[in-house]
Chain A
Amino acid sequence: GNSVTQMEGPVTLSEEAFLTINCTYTATGYPSLFWYVQYPGEGLQLLLKATKADDKGSNKGFEATYRKETTSFHLEKGSVQVSDSAVYFCALSAGGAGGTSYGKLTFGQGTILTVHP
């Protein structure tokens, strides 16, 4: 079956530090890959996505590149801010249209990020 593994947290950084959160996956077929962010007290929001190999998703200074050869989708940001403190989830969606897995998301366990001033 499909699965997503994220690096364990929590991750604590100082403002302006470099961030990497590792994510690897196992899936049948050709999944689409996502990073979701959950700010305190809010629902999950899509941060970025990539739908095919070598695609790079980017948003709000965050980037992740779909690496099929290493089955990875690591999240990076060059300079984090206090406002980036949140829980980050890596996820995949696999399965062709009409199949039983169509559109379903499989999530990693989430990584708590805390950024200090």
Chain B
Amino acid sequence: GAVVSQHPSRVICKSGTSVKIECRSLDFQATTMFWYRQFPKQSLMLMATSNEGSKATYEQGVEKDKFLINHASLTLSTLTVTSAHPEDSSFYICSARRRGEVYEQYFGPGTRLTVT
């Protein structure tokens, strides 16, 4: 299999604080990880692409300083939402691409972030 986990599954934080979300590939090496945001009843929006050991590539309109992405190893990527505000409340989903594969992505179950 190719299992991707995310932690936490749900988090509530106060406005102005930072939150870190972890994405792990449990049984394979992920050379590339992707971070998406999903609004209610809407599609997934790609935020950024991260390759192990290099800086993330952000999509147009995504603030790099607000959404910090680190891909420190072949099995772990983190997304930190800095100085969170209520409008950052959303469902964040990561996916991972296995070494040697081209198109397939394996998705985590998502993290529900609520900023109060």
Contact = CB atoms under 8 A, between A and B. Distances in A.
Residue of A42, A44, A45, A93 most packed against chain B (CB within 10 A): A44
B43 A110 contact: yes
Contacts of A57: none
Main secondary structure of the interface of B (DSSP, over half): strand
A45 B43 contact: no
B109 A41 contact: yes
A77 interface: no
Contacts, number: 49
Contacts of B97: 103
A20 interface: no
Name which of B34, B103, B109 has the most chain A CB atoms within 10 A of its CB: B103
A32 B43 contact: no
A12 B106 CA distance: 28
Interface in A45-59: 45-46, 49, 51
Given A32-B103, A103-B32, A109 B42 contact: yes
B87 interface: no
A51 B101 CA distance: 14
Contact of A43 (B4, B34, B46, B102): B4
A25 interface: no
Given A34-B103, A49-B104, A108-B43, 17 more contacts: A32-B103, A41-B109, A43-B107, A46-B104, A89-B43, A100-B57, A103-B32, A103-B102, A103-B103, A103-B105, A104-B34, A104-B46, A107-B43, A109-B41, A109-B42, A109-B43, A110-B42
5 contacts: A103-B102, A103-B105, A105-B46, A107-B43, A109-B41
Interface of B: 4, 32, 34, 41-44, 46, 49, 57, 93, 95, 97, 102-110
